[in-house]
Amino acid sequence: MTDRRSRKALSRRHSRTRQVAPRTHWLLLSVLAVTLSTALLLQGYTHHMFRITSDAVTGPRGRSDTVPAQVAHGGPVIANAATSAHTAKVQARTIALTFDDGPDPVWTPRILDVLRRNHVHATFFVVGTQVVAHPELVRRIVADGHQIGIHTFTHPDLARLAPWQRSLELRETQLAVAGAAGVTSALLRPPYSSENDALDNADWSVLQQADAAGYVTVLSTQDAEDWQRPGADRILANATPHGHAGQILLMHDGGGDRSQTVAALSALIPRLEAHGFRFATVGASVGMAGPVQPAGLGDRLQGMAFIKVLQAGDWVVWLLGVLMYAAGALSVLRAAVVLVAAHRHRRSRARCRSRSWGPPVTEPVSVIVPAYNESAGIEAAVRSLLASDHPVEIIVVDDGSTDGTADLVESLHLPVRVIRRQNAGKPAALNTGLAAATYDLVVMVDGDTVFEPDTVRTIVQPFADPRVGAVSGNAKVVNRGGLLGRWQHIEYVVGFNLDRRLFDLAECMPTVPGAVGAFRRRALLDLGGVSDVTLAEDTDLTMALCRAGWRVVYEEGARAWTEAPASLNALWRQRYRWCYGTLQAMWKHRGALVQRGAAGKLGRRGLGYLLLFQVLLPLLAPVVDIFAVYGLLFLDPVRIVGLWLAFLLLQLMMGLYAFRLDGERPGPLWSLPLQQFVYRQLMYLVVIQSVFTAVSGSRLRWQRMERYGSLQAPTGAKAPGNDLPAQDPGLSQWPPHHSGPQPAPYDPLPQPAPYDPLPQPAPYGGLAQPPQPPPHPGFRQPGPYETQQLY
């Protein structure tokens, strides 16, 4: 009764921890993505679709037969263009100073100072983007008694835009003015306009649409041509009227260097006043009543919000630019670090080979194979281990499989110990194998992995150094067919293996992969066995060994062939578990950051590297993609493509060098450009999902990994003393590998004589127990709680 209650309590406890990862963050990310995209599109349109350029004619003038004669030969102020058009002329001896393309933070204040000194009022036709950037200048213009006019939002040629774009240009500018200064204006000057007789049919359609929106168009009668920067004297001459007729004088306070305009204006006003001219705003010069009015509350609030949104867009683009440069710098830094480290690692290993690790390690090895529903590949894994050229004890721990994994192994009648237990997860299965292991050197291998004949012998040689507590082998992808297989093959060789060389050189190896790793059994027992508090038990275990003072090394010659996920869904689930488990392990061992010795190397080197390049850099990767799209649409696409090709070339160089170190043919690297458009996005989305899950405090549940049966069972693997014929499922060769001579098919290999015969299993579960080592006080045998584990 008590046991039943305990099991129920454990079941309730684990039902609470087996929560489904939260989905709210995907909704938040979607909203953020839409908001960011909208902000970038708006910012890109307002800042890069059109630019303030000179007032030179933008194209050949078209027909003008629809322009009324009274407009073509009338005054510069045009009203009622959509109905009964009429114009107004400036009063005699009156000059209406007008300034286009501002406000500018440098030149507008200087022009305002000149006007204030001379007690002159003018009209400023402002560009919306400049208003958003410098709203305080618009407020000063209004406060000084000057008039505000509209000069569109992005300074395009309105005649070349669709009607909806024209409306958008005018409405956005009006909102910006309302938000900045609390006023609205009925005055409009279309960009690139000049005098009445220059109007063509397209221009007239613009004026008609503007009139329907409530605008009065203001052209010019005299152009100072300061946009050409001909010199202050020439501007002064161009701006001086001939005769006594009133003029609307076109000048500029923005769009470039206006120092000549400021100098000419300082001389122009006194000169014209001396000749009897007076200065007035456009409205006053033609007798127009109140073209500028206080904005309504709604327009003012909308305008203020509009300005804030656009300013936030500017800030976002600036931040994205900074983050993109940071991501680029991190990518270049990582490439330089791993390439230099790989070169030094290769040279150091070449020197060490002449001396080796020490005396050859010949003692037998216990190989632990945790298995949960591994019937698709367990036979191939076991037979590859039996074909080892090093004496091995093979222990298959069946963790409550439901597909007959244990029965299959026992039916092979091979010298393999099968231990059955209730489903409790991979760490529990490994601890069971540790408890049953006979020898001090232990190799752990996943049930979806096959070894080469020399893998066990090679991976245990570093244990000749008594400081070594664990050895990472070289895991390779066996199912390389298709793009997904090639991409994972590239990642294993270029990403994982280059990093392991760096970690080995820096003595801060954070992970011995579950697919192929060797350990000192007593070192693991000192730690209390394999912990189950994280989902990345291999990373957690390796970090614990480093903190305990053991050295963890990488042996690239110990190759194992593992089955990689064959679908995006399966790959997502696998990498999600890896990433989330790594974050758990990093947090668990964060104390290493302030420790000394081997633990300090792990903390400051290993954890720092993982945080910088495996967490922060993937989180910055979306910024690169977003900014690349933004750049293609609104910036220089040639430059953007050039930068992308430069980074691709950098990755290709890393790939070629990594493939050379691993003895691989570089053929799969042709798919590297395609990898940037699918695989890379999947990987950084995995990191984002993992970070959100970790920050939210949720517990990721274990999942079942799909098996595809792509592993091939070895040919002719036959145990000594076993009279049963060897099974031959038809493995003809290893997956292509080219670092040296290819291993022959699995012919029967004689076991070395000096070793005691390995214990033979009794049929179907009756185990002949080997001599057990004395109990270790720190070892903790896991309890039989039930939860499906991912292997």
Provide the strand spans (E) within 112-178. 123-126, 147-150
Q: Which helix (H) or strand (E) holds 279?
A: strand 278-280
**Reduced 3-state DSSP string for 209-271:** HHHHCCCEEECCCEECCHHHCCCHHHHHHHHCCCCCCCEEEEEECCCCCCHHHHHHHHHHHHH
Taking CA 500 as the corner, what is the angle to CA 703 and CA 667, rounded to the nearest 5 degrees? Answer: 85
Average of pLDDT values for 588-596?
Answer: 94
In percent, the amount of the chain with pLDDT more than 70 equals 83
Let me know if 402 is exposed, middle or buried by CB neighbors in 10 A (0-12, 13-18, 19+): exposed
775 has a pLDDT exceeding 50: no
Quick check: helix, strand or coil at residue 669?
A: helix
- Segment 478-487, tens digit of pLDDT: 999 889 999 9
Would you state the pLDDT for residue 42?
77
At residue 748 the predicted structure's pLDDT band, cuts being 50, 70 and 90, is very low
> Is the bond preceding 757 in cis, omega lying within 30 degrees of 0?
no
Q: Which of 283-297, 447-461, 546-560, 689-703 has the lowest mean pLDDT?
A: 689-703
Would you state the pLDDT for residue 82?
87
558 has a pLDDT exceeding 80: yes
At residue 53 the predicted structure's pLDDT band, cuts being 50, 70 and 90, is low
Quick check: helix, strand or coil at residue 272?
A: helix
* Higher pLDDT pick, 265 / 355: 265
- Sequence-separated contacts (24+) of 573-576 with Cβ below 8 Å: 573/703, 573/705, 573/790, 574/705, 574/790, 575/682, 575/683, 575/686, 576/686, 576/689, 576/690, 576/700
217 has a pLDDT exceeding 50: yes
At residue 303 the predicted structure's pLDDT band, cuts being 50, 70 and 90, is very high
Q: Which residues pair with 562 in a beta bridge?
A: 449, 477
Q: Which of 89-98, 605-614, 744-753 has the lowest mean pLDDT?
A: 744-753
664 has a pLDDT exceeding 80: yes
Average of pLDDT values for 690-699?
Answer: 77
Would you state the pLDDT for residue 316?
83
* Higher pLDDT pick, 45 / 608: 608
Would you state the pLDDT for residue 388?
96
Q: So which residues are the catalytic ones?
A: 100, 252
Let me know if 243 is exposed, middle or buried by CB neighbors in 10 A (0-12, 13-18, 19+): exposed
705 has a pLDDT exceeding 60: no
Average of pLDDT values for 608-620?
Answer: 91
Q: How far is CA 424 from CA 65, 526, 621, in A?
A: 88, 22, 37
Q: Which of 36-45, 54-63, 301-310, 511-520 has the lowest mean pLDDT?
A: 54-63
* Higher pLDDT pick, 353 / 173: 173
Mean pLDDT of the chain: 84
In percent, the amount of the chain with pLDDT more than 90 equals 65
